[in-house]
Amino acid sequence: MKHLKKTFFAVAMLLSLNLCAQNPLITHMYTADPTARVFNGKLYVYPSSDQIPPENVNCPDFCMPGYHMFSLENGSTWKDHGWVLKENECPWGEKNTYAMWAPDCIEKDGKYYYFYPAKAKKDQAFRRIGVGVSNSPVGPFKWNKSFIEGVSGIDPGLLLDDDNQAYLFFGGGQELFVAPLSDDMSKIIKSPIKVEGLPYGYKEGSFPFKKGGKYYLTFAHVFPQEGYTIGYAISDKPMGPYKYYGKIMDNIENGTNHHSVVNYNGKWILFYHNWALSGFNKLRSICADYMTFNSDGTIRKVTPTLRGIGNPTLCDTIQIDRYNEINRLQTAFVSGDEPDGWMVCETRNGSYVRFNGVDFSDGKATKMQARMASGQRKGKMQIRIDNQHGKLIAEYPIEYTGGWGKWCTYTAELKQKVTGLHDIYVSFTADAGNTKIANLNWLILQ
């Protein structure tokens, strides 16, 4: 036990520092409608947020109080930058409507423009769209005093073309509109036109982007039997007409599927949301998975995974229950006083979990922390790399932590220097019998 150091963590503190890139990406609050953008090589996500309606507040639909934003730090840690805009701070918005639906943010000429829908004061329109400007992708934004004249609808989607002309896509229900924006992004310079060529069942959430000289439009597409899917269409011109090419993601149970697409470090990523954390489709959580193109420019369907994107490296949380493979164990909502999330549990003799793509980088890691709970004291947990019988890099004897819901952080020295990307295998061995061995919440390389 000499090589083990037992530390109890201030759990809330840890959570605020470590939001990880396994799905869902954010677990300390509900987030939806993610627009991902890469600015100066860094990945940002601008989502909306869902919340449980406060007492005495009647939210007949979603309850959406405003916007946080997040940036990817390190190999897979999301930093919460806090509030970008709270609903009652919108200069032209009606107060206390909890109606801050999907936003977007785009960079033009070194400035960052944040577009968002809200319910306007004394206005019949379902939503109007407003804009704010900042010198930094993380704000603060200076909010325009009134909404964009001539624009009525939800889900602003921004496209900046190679000639520096920006376009605003918006609308929901059955129609999508597009209009070119003024140089300062505060007005439309032509009347909006309806985007032609979208299939019957087009719903909302359009996201425009350009690749290989073609204009892509992705959107929520509802089929009568299947429900919400994510579809896409392609055009030679930014304002269309577009041609529908098929689905990017099948229905993932019945709920909305607002999304965005981004190229980060040479890989395409689809950001979307699900409701795995709450079990309720109006309390959503943002997710991300890699997306690939065929050589003819069409998009291969994306299957949602638990593992998500990114390669956790030193100091990132390896959320091990977001596995690539499990054998003879289960995952469940984390027990005890831990923050919301999942754990590996029901571990028995011979159980293992595989998690792909941990980045040991240049070999500076010397330790690995493990957040564990156990109601017994017999057995061990081992970490190997590359395959189930690969090099043993860390070992943890099982200790009684006070029960299956009492969590402790243990630190094991790494048994050897490891560099580069490796899949890790976490296996459990009982000293005797078929007793449960330990619950495991996460690992962190140090």
Query: Which candidate in 104, 155, 204, 316 is catalytic?
Result: 204
Residue of 15, 19, 21, 32 interacting with ligand FUB (CB under 6 A): 32
Residue of 104, 155, 321, 359 interacting with ligand FUB (CB under 6 A): 155
Contacting ligand FUB within 336-375 (CB under 6 A): none
Residue of 101, 115, 264, 442 interacting with ligand FUB (CB under 6 A): 101
Angle at 7 between CA 350 and CA 10, to 5 degrees: 110
Per the structure block, which two tokens stand in for 126?
């379902």
Kind plus residue range of the DSSP H or E element containing 13: helix 11-17
Residue of 154, 318, 344, 358 interacting with ligand FUB (CB under 6 A): 154
By the rule CB under 6 A, 33 interacts with ligand FUB? yes
The rounded distance, in Å, linking the Cα atoms of 332 and 321 is 8
Q: Which residue number, 202 or 407, has a Cβ lying nearer to ligand FUB? A: 202
By the rule CB under 6 A, 102 interacts with ligand FUB? yes
Contacting ligand FUB within 42-81 (CB under 6 A): 48, 62
The size of the interface with ligand FUB (CB under 6 A), counted in residues, is 12
The rounded distance, in Å, linking the Cα atoms of 219 and 242 is 12
Q: Which residue number, 64 or 353, has a Cβ lying nearer to ligand FUB? A: 64
The rounded distance, in Å, linking the Cα atoms of 185 and 115 is 10
Residue of 132, 205, 308, 379 interacting with ligand FUB (CB under 6 A): 205
Kind plus residue range of the DSSP H or E element containing 81: strand 77-86
Taking the complex as a whole, the smallest distance from the CB of residue 155 to ligand FUB amounts, in Å, to 5
By the rule CB under 6 A, 269 interacts with ligand FUB? no
Q: Which residue number, 138 or 154, has a Cβ lying nearer to ligand FUB? A: 154
Residue of 256, 274, 369, 374 interacting with ligand FUB (CB under 6 A): 256
| Contact code string over 272-311 relative to ligand FUB, x by CB under 6 A | ----------------------------------------
Taking the complex as a whole, the smallest distance from the CB of residue 259 to ligand FUB amounts, in Å, to 9
- How many residues comprise the chain? 446
- Per the CB < 8 A criterion, the answer to whether 136 and 112 are in contact is yes
Residue 124, Cβ density class (10 Å: 0-12 exposed, 13-18 middle, ≥19 buried): exposed
Taking the complex as a whole, the smallest distance from the CB of residue 213 to ligand FUB amounts, in Å, to 28
The rounded distance, in Å, linking the Cα atoms of 367 and 113 is 43
Kind plus residue range of the DSSP H or E element containing 45: strand 42-50
Helix/strand/coil for 172: coil
Taking the complex as a whole, the smallest distance from the CB of residue 276 to ligand FUB amounts, in Å, to 16
Per the structure block, which two tokens stand in for 227?
């429900």
Query: Which candidate in 33, 155, 289, 316 is catalytic?
Result: 33
Question: Is 163 marked active-site?
Answer: no
The rounded distance, in Å, linking the Cα atoms of 164 and 157 is 16
The rounded distance, in Å, linking the Cα atoms of 98 and 66 is 7
Question: Is 204 marked active-site?
Answer: yes
Query: Which residues, at least 6 apart from 179, have a Cβ–Cβ distance to it below 8 Å?
Result: 150, 151, 167, 168, 188, 189, 190, 191, 192, 193
Tell me the catalytic residues.
33, 204
Binding site for ligand FUB (CB under 6 A): 32-33, 48, 62, 101-102, 154-155, 204-205, 256, 258
